Structure 1
Amino acid sequence: MPVRGLEGGDGGGVPDVGGGETDVARLMVIRRMKPLGFTLDRMRDLLDATDRLDGDDALDADEREALLERVRTYRRAAAEQVEKLRVQLSRAEDFADTLGARLERNAPVARAAGSRVRDRCS
């Protein structure tokens, strides 16, 4: 069953969002899931679960619990991805700091060497 907001659009996976409050909230879910690596199918599945939980339809206890467990699964997956991104960010910051330190160590030598070359040419 297609879920509003993930079908249509430009045909390239860009959601067709109308502009209502619900549509904006759905778009925000999609925007937050995308950088965490969730596929469109998984986005659709989560939106289906949350739509059904938030909808006016009466759910029996087992169906409600199954939907809640689907949402919990996505929450755990998101938390795992966030932790992986934190590790990647930390490594990237360390790398940038290492390059900065290398530049600082070598910059005075490079400037001094450049001055000596200019002095010889004068």
Structure 2
Amino acid sequence: MPAPVTSAVPSEGLLQIGEVATRTDLSVRTIRHWEDIGLISPSARSRGGFRLYSLEDVARIRLLRYMKPLNFTLEQMRELLELRDQVVASGGAGDRGLVWPPSSAVADADTASRVVLDLERYTELAARRLQQLHQQIGEVEEFVAQLREEVNRGRGAS
């Protein structure tokens, strides 16, 4: 469904894509790509066709940004956003993170249990990927130290 056209200007609480890119430390191209593949959509468009994003849209984009360095696939990103949407719809936290327990939107126990299990699965996956990143950081630090040693040896040889 296309975003509604509005005469709203960014000062009225909606942000243009460039401002969203700045706030999320992403490129405009990445945000447009995520829109093209259906991960996000702007809340509205200006009469001139400019994408306009709400603060909730920005929170959603930030969540995607957090997933990027963890190498989540687009499908994993989509699934985690859907889980987040269920929690938010149930009275959860929006841009403050995920809050439990659910209210009416995720009222039945089976659905609530599934959401919790899926969130636990993603938490474990993110923790494993974080551990891998820590290991990579250690390797990079070791490499930088070796390069510094080479520089120091080179300076001593001249």
TM normalised by structure 2 equals 0.59
Q: Which runs of 4+ in 1 moved over 6 A?
A: 5-8
User: 2: CA distance between counterparts of 1:36 and 1:52?
Assistant: 22
| The structure with more helix, counted as a fraction of residues | 1
- Within a 5 Å distance, the mapping from 1:1-12 to structure 2 comes to 9=35, 11=36
Question: CA contact under 8 A between 2:40 and 2:60: conserved in structure 1?
Answer: no
Q: 1:14 to 1:70 in 2, by over 3 A?
A: closer
2:70 is matched with 36
Match of 2:41 among 3, 7, 16: 16
Contact conserved, 1:49 with 1:71, CA < 8 A, in 2? yes
Equivalent residue pairs, number = 105
1:84 corresponds to: 132
Provide the residue aligned with 1:66 in structure 2. 114
Ranges in structure 1 where 5+ consecutive residues have no aligned partner: 112-122
Q: How far apart are the structure 2 equivalents of 1:27 and 1:107?
A: 47
* Percent of residue pairs identical: 29
Instruction: Find the structure with the greater CA-based Rg.
Output: 1
CA displacement at 1:49 relative to structure 2: 1.0
TM-score, normalised to structure 1's length? 0.74
